[in-house]
Structures are given as structure tokens and as C-alpha cells.
């Protein structure tokens, strides 16, 4: 069960950027930026933070794999496995 700590880390980083929105309240399969109301700068900040936290490149070419909360979570799980 490697999902739990990564899930928690993702929720924590998102909370830093969008403190007014709870992960429990969003649709995890829908567009991440719309669900959390974050712009491209916020998204870059999120990617930067996650990249540092998990020591990942998080290349821009992979952004399409990070479009929803669930997609981003499985991307992180796959990369850190």
C-alpha cells in the first residue's frame, strides 16, 4: 500500500496552493486546475514542489498525464514505485 503517503503528500502540496479547497470536496477524476481553481503559475508551483519532494523531473511533456487528481496520483505512484 504505497498509495497512502503519496496521496497525503499530494493533498498537502495542493493545500498549500489552494488552502480553501478540500480534496474530499473535489471530483478526483475531473480537471485538476478547474477543481482546485489554480492557474498555470499555481500548477507550475505544484509541479516544482512535487518534483523536489519526490526527486522527479516532472517534465512538461508529461503534463497531460497530470490532468486530474487521480491521474497525477497514479503518475506519482508509477514514478516513485
Tell me which residues touch another protein (CB under 8 A).
18-20, 31, 33-34, 37, 39-41, 44-45, 47-48, 51, 57-61
- Closest distance of CB 1 from another protein, Å: 28
Nearest to 68 by CA among 28, 41, 14: 28
**Residue closer to another protein (CB basis): 25 or 60:** 60
**Residue closer to another protein (CB basis): 19 or 78:** 19
**Residue closer to another protein (CB basis): 59 or 78:** 59
- Provide CB contacts within 8 A for 66, sequence distance 6+: 32, 47, 58, 72, 75
- 54 vs 13: CA distance, rounded Å: 12
Amino acid at each position: 500500500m504505497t498509495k497512502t503517503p503519496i496521496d497525503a503528500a499530494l493533498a498537502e502540496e495542493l493545500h498549500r496552493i489552494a488552502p480553501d479547497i478540500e480534496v474530499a470536496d473535489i471530483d478526483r477524476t475531473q480537471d485538476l486546475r478547474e477543481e482546485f481553481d489554480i492557474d498555470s503559475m499555481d500548477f507550475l508551483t505544484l509541479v516544482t514542489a512535487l518534483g523536489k519532494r519526490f526527486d522527479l523531473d516532472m517534465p512538461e511533456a508529461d503534463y497531460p498525464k497530470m490532468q486530474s487528481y487521480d491521474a497525477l496520483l497514479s503518475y506519482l505512484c508509477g514514478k516513485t514505485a
